[in-house]
Amino acid sequence: MTGKARLLRMILGRLVLGLLTLWLISVLIFLAVSLLPGDIAQQILGQSATPETVAALRRELGLDQPLLQRYLDWMGTLLAGDFGNSLSNGRPVADLLAARMGKTLFLAAYAAAIAVPLALFLGILSAYRRGSLFDRAVTGLTLTMISFPEFFIAYVLMLFLAVRLPFFPTIADYGSDAGLIEMLHRTFLPAMALVLVVTAHMMRMTRAAIINLMAQPYIGMARLKGIGPLRVILVHALPNALAPIINVVAVNIAWLVSGVVIVEVVFVYPGLGQLMVDSVSNRDIPVVQACCLIFAAVYILLNLLADVLAIATNPRLMHRAG
């Protein structure tokens, strides 16, 4: 079997596994939302609603149906490309998602554009100067960043760069007519909060992968030929370390898209995460389910991409995939 055939078979296998995982996640999402305390119809209508009105709304929303029937109905509408309508304002859920998804993707792309080059640079330089004061300082700083939750980092950034030194706004929202410079300025703090969280993971993986390869015989042969240490890392070690590096980069980018909920709430950023939190507060079940499913689908898709790229850049993994 050729390498392309092995890669195609691996992609199809991962895709089937991803779809199965997404289906299991949809079951968990539906059960979790269904087990929320309180009566959704009662909360929508208020405490002054009569029992007859509440019962009528429950029938309209399908809440009087068995749990399995409600899940099958939900999956049927999803497979037809319909996320339903919002319970809060009656608008199609797809329209709400489209309006917010672009902003979440912009914030994730902004953070990734800073975090990925920075992590690779620090990881390569730390491996090059292994054991030095720079290496120890960067390692200590990254361990510190990993230890703090993103909301704590977000509030610290807000305190020093928005309150004490008013360089950036505390609210990251921007209008539809804002230019690119204004968008980058207003979203700098939430982007940096995400950068500080994910850079540590990518930097440490880059450093570990390169250091692990430095003990290989072909690296020793390159050194015997008189090739400089930095050139050995960039030309001989880094290409062979791409598989684990690509994997951790893709996983962290997936987290950037699906893990922005807390950061969006802290900076009142009108993205998909903020929409999900607001919908949970309003008991807008169709929107909550759709947001969770979108986050899960993006995370699974990017993990699939990570697997494909990691195997495609490593001949040994390609052979194993066959």
262-302: pLDDT as tens digits = 899 999 999 998 999 888 887 888 898 999 999 999 888 88
pLDDT for the residue 216: 79
pTM (predicted TM-score): 0.84
Is 242:314 a contact under the CB 8 Å cutoff?
yes
- Domain borders along the chain are 3-36+83-321
The reply to whether CATH 3.30.360.10 applies to domain 3-36+83-321 is: no
pLDDT for the residue 88: 77
b/e burial code for range 130-155 (CB count within 10 A of at least 16 → b)? eeeeebeebbeebeebeeeebeebbe
**Which residues is 85 bridged to in the sheet?**
92
Please, which pLDDT band fits residue 130 given cuts at 50, 70 and 90?
Answer: confident
